[in-house]
Amino acid sequence: MDGTKANTTMMISPRKPRVMLYSSPLIGHLVSMVELAKLFVARGLAVTIVLMDPVYDTGATGPFLAGVSAANPSISFHRLPQVKLLESDHSMIPALAIARHSNPHLRDFLTGASPDVLVVDFFCSAAVDVAAELGIPVYFFNTSGAQILAFIMHLPVLHGKSTRSFREMGEEIVHVPGITSFRATHTIQPLMDRDGASYNAFLNVNLNLFRSQGIIVNTFRSLEPRAMDTILTGLSTPPGLSTPPVPVWCSCCISRGRDGVGRPDERV
Query: Considering its fold, how many domains does the chain have in total?
Result: 1
Tell me 17's DSSP state: P
pLDDT at 265 over 50: no
Residue in 198, 169, 196 with CA at minimum distance from that of residue 185: 169
**Chain segment 138-157, per-residue pLDDT in tens:** 999 998 889 999 999 999 99
Catalytic residue among 29, 101, 105, 154: 29
**Catalytic residue list contains 78:** no
- What's the distance, Cα to Cα, between the start and end of the chain in Å? 39
CA of 230: how far to CAs of 204, 237, 248, 253, in Å? Answer: 22, 9, 11, 21
**17 Cβ partners below 8 Å, 6+ apart?**
44, 45, 46, 116, 117, 268
Classify residue 160: in a domain, yes or no. Answer: no
Tell me 128's DSSP state: H
Classify residue 168: in a domain, yes or no. Answer: no
CA of 104: how far to CAs of 109, 144, 237, in Å? Answer: 9, 28, 30
pTM: 0.84
Are the beta carbons of 25 and 57 closer than 8 angstroms?
Answer: no
123 lies in which domain range? 12-145+205-250
Q: Cα(140)–Cα(151) distance, rounded to whole angstroms?
A: 15
**Chain segment 44-77, per-residue pLDDT in tens:** 999 999 998 877 666 667 788 888 888 888 899 9
Residue 260: half-sphere exposure toward Cβ, Cα within 13 Å: 22
Classify residue 96: in a domain, yes or no. Answer: yes
pLDDT at 5 over 90: no
Classify residue 172: in a domain, yes or no. Answer: no
Count CB neighbours of 218 within 10 A: 23
Most confident region among 101-105, 244-248, 258-262 by mean pLDDT: 101-105
CATH assignment of the domain containing 212: 3.40.50.2000
Classify residue 122: in a domain, yes or no. Answer: yes
**Catalytic residue list contains 154:** no
Classify residue 229: in a domain, yes or no. Answer: yes
Classify residue 183: in a domain, yes or no. Answer: no
Classify residue 107: in a domain, yes or no. Answer: yes
Catalytic residue among 89, 101, 105, 121: 121
